[in-house]
Structure 1
């Protein structure tokens, strides 16, 4: 079965009476919805509930598709003539996007070719055998391109739904043509980029139900892959979490502490059981089937053991983590846990439950952030705490580089968050221009604190002409207007600042929307100008960013891996300036190095273990 031609999810079907009230309603908690053709080669939507129940078929004509909540795994297909609506929910978002795209492509192609007046006669006269219920063929490149142009054009002649204003003006709406609301969104699928072979193997393992941990150096696409995995899982039972608010924002999730519901985890295990037994917390634990944890390196081992015990207790299941599938991601050679119990640092892999919980391990090796092999080799050496004379000379030489351009200064990476804050406030005060305040629009005024913790954009942004800023969202990748791009405010219009970026492009910053999922599954959002002051940035807050103009002084480095995280933010050696570099500022935790030595030994041994069923004993 072609995966693009089907989706497995919760299906609710409602039939309405003429008065608009529901005459019949059917709910299938797990059903496969696919596209097939009948003997007349017409496209049908088939809902197959499973086991002994018969499938239900709907002819795809005179219908409308609503996909406003497609990224949450929800969509609906309304059949006008049948007075029936098929509601899809808890569908893996990537699968749902692909499925709706196929509907759009195939129906667009059918309209282009025209519908025969007598398709059954055409079928009988043809020499080609054809059976009713046959799956539709995969979309061809020509079909995809034709449908894409239709979606992007968005003209009245296309099969996309007209804007609400146009609908009101029309006295008659033609329902003979299928309509897919905002079909253009189908061609801006954030999960559409191709995966590498090593990324695909991890995705397949995750979808195969295996508890796994994958790692890789900075810039190998760990968070990108994690988003792909999350998009391929049913959202209602998947909890995407991370050890920090910044990392959680990158994968569209919440912090692990928010999910666990046991505070910082410093209380006794019995108290943690009590906290997690609260109905709202326990309900989330029990419905979760997939738990994703990003930046696992910053999760303390003691905390990991506690939430593993809590999972078994609350779910009344003695399997590791109460039977929840774990998908863990991070690099232990980057930032270590912040919380220390009794003054002792414990990594997650040192926890008692790690070996029972993690059954498969993977390592991403291809670096995507940098393409300079010299710089990549330097970073790989620094990651393990190895600094040669040549590396020292190369990094010391960067101190003399002029990386400023068109008035855009280098962002100073600081080891401490307060240092970065003080630098930004001081530099802004020194500008003589009049300040302008941009206040965010939050969907829930009571959620401002949560949004401040988890989003990169502040609730209140103060700017002046001449302010150094960083772009916090991908606006136009082709023009270099990407998350982490550096610029300077050149003027402030009545409604928005205009920024000149290092790429040479000017951009009038308009409010963008960020959304955050709460533990309960509801969504809160913030609309704000996608900028932040960027004279300075903390190393912790820079995780996940690629900076095109950065300088650093590593004299106050206090953690293993901190220097590596800072250096690996740079796009290349030409955009980097290291002040007063000293080899003593670079080191790796010996416990972590030993973990990775064993980790790679196990990976090497796994390559020689044949996969599949074990042979029977004779």
Structure 2
């Protein structure tokens, strides 16, 4: 039975199922590195990670980015008036750390940029935090050939372009994000013992559901929570397929 039944809070339901015995194992890298919750949108990922962070004992530490605009001198004054720092702080982008980054010791994070591939600091590497400094984060790599290796993550400057905005945003922040939950796209490359697929709505791109299901090593570790509107049963969801992809396939 893959489906997780629920009547109340769907986030709580899937967390309790995928991260069973969490209180006893929250600080164990082997426990955390073999399970994750995947979902289509960053908004739901943030919701899951914030919920999980509250379950971890200890004080949290908040890091705030330094945001500014990369711009020409001709437009500097106009842009500064139209897009103040307070507005820049509210912007969120896929694959980019938010302005406010809240972390605790003994929590897993995923790198969002390649920092030093030779040391295992690659986009997608998962790290168990052991120390939260003012200017660096220290932790141990989770999984892979460099499993348990100690690494240091600095703040870096990320130049962010988005066609929605007529500027390039410069954000200085730690390039990490909590990874109890992750987007389906970001989960590519992961192979885990236990995967919870949280679908508050049907997946929205071709083959994305296949990507989510294929993150788990065996059917025993697959759990799915479908949170359809009340008038739609919670035991099915749409699988988005571009039929045009099969247009040139010849059949007998």
Q: What TM bracket, shorter-length normalisation? A: 0.5 to 0.7
Structure 2 residue matching 1:481: 3-state secondary structure: coil
For the pair 1:428 / 2:72, whether they are aligned, the reply is no
Structure 1 residue matching 2:170: 3-state secondary structure: strand
- Quote the residue 1:497 is aligned against: 137
Unaligned residue ranges in structure 2 (runs of 5+) = 1-27, 70-84, 226-234
- Give the superposition deviation at 1:423: 2.6
- Quote the residue 2:32 is aligned against: 408
The structure-2 alpha-carbon separation of the partners of 1:563 and 1:485, relative to structure 1 and needing over 3 Å to count, comes to: same
- Quote the residue 2:16 is aligned against: none
Q: Using the alignment, how far apart are the partners of 1:418 and 1:521 within structure 2?
A: 24
Q: Using the alignment, how far apart are the partners of 2:195 and 2:187 within structure 1?
A: 17
Pick from 584, 598, 612: which aligns with 2:247? 598
Q: Is the 8 A contact 1:483 1:546 kept in 2?
A: no
- Give the superposition deviation at 1:458: 0.8
- Quote the residue 1:448 is aligned against: 89
Q: Is the 8 A contact 2:107 2:128 kept in 1?
A: yes
- Quote the residue 1:552 is aligned against: 195
Structure whose residues are more often strand by fraction: 2
- Quote the residue 1:508 is aligned against: 152
The structure-2 alpha-carbon separation of the partners of 1:551 and 1:516, relative to structure 1 and needing over 3 Å to count, comes to: same
- Give the superposition deviation at 1:482: 1.5
- Quote the residue 1:344 is aligned against: none
Q: Is the 8 A contact 2:192 2:217 kept in 1?
A: no
Count the aligned residue pairs. 188
The structure-2 alpha-carbon separation of the partners of 1:546 and 1:566, relative to structure 1 and needing over 3 Å to count, comes to: same
Q: Give the TM-score of the pair, scaled to structure 2.
A: 0.60
Q: Using the alignment, how far apart are the partners of 1:573 and 1:424 within structure 2?
A: 23
Structure whose residues are more often helix by fraction: 1
Q: Is the 8 A contact 2:39 2:198 kept in 1?
A: no
* 1:123-148 C-alpha deviation (Å, 9 max, x unpaired): xxxxxxxxxxxxxxxxxxxxxxxxxx
Q: Is the 8 A contact 1:408 1:501 kept in 2?
A: no
* 1:271-301 C-alpha deviation (Å, 9 max, x unpaired): xxxxxxxxxxxxxxxxxxxxxxxxxxxxxxx
Q: Using the alignment, how far apart are the partners of 2:134 and 2:158 within structure 1?
A: 23
Unaligned residue ranges in structure 1 (runs of 5+) = 1-403, 602-618
* Aligned-residue RMSD, C-alpha: 3.5
Structure 1 residue matching 2:98: 3-state secondary structure: coil
Which structure has more relative contact order (CA 8 Å, sep 6+)? It is 2
Pick from 212, 220, 223: which aligns with 1:566? 212
Q: Using the alignment, how far apart are the partners of 2:116 and 2:193 within structure 1?
A: 21
Q: Using the alignment, how far apart are the partners of 1:580 and 1:523 within structure 2?
A: 39
Q: Using the alignment, how far apart are the partners of 2:162 and 2:50 within structure 1?
A: 31
- Give the superposition deviation at 1:461: 0.5
- Quote the residue 1:533 is aligned against: 178
Structure 2 residue matching 1:473: 3-state secondary structure: coil
Q: Using the alignment, how far apart are the partners of 1:461 and 1:550 within structure 2?
A: 28
- Give the superposition deviation at 1:498: 0.8
Structure 1 residue matching 2:102: 3-state secondary structure: strand
- Give the superposition deviation at 1:537: 2.0
- Give the superposition deviation at 1:462: 0.8
Q: Using the alignment, how far apart are the partners of 2:132 and 2:55 within structure 1?
A: 18
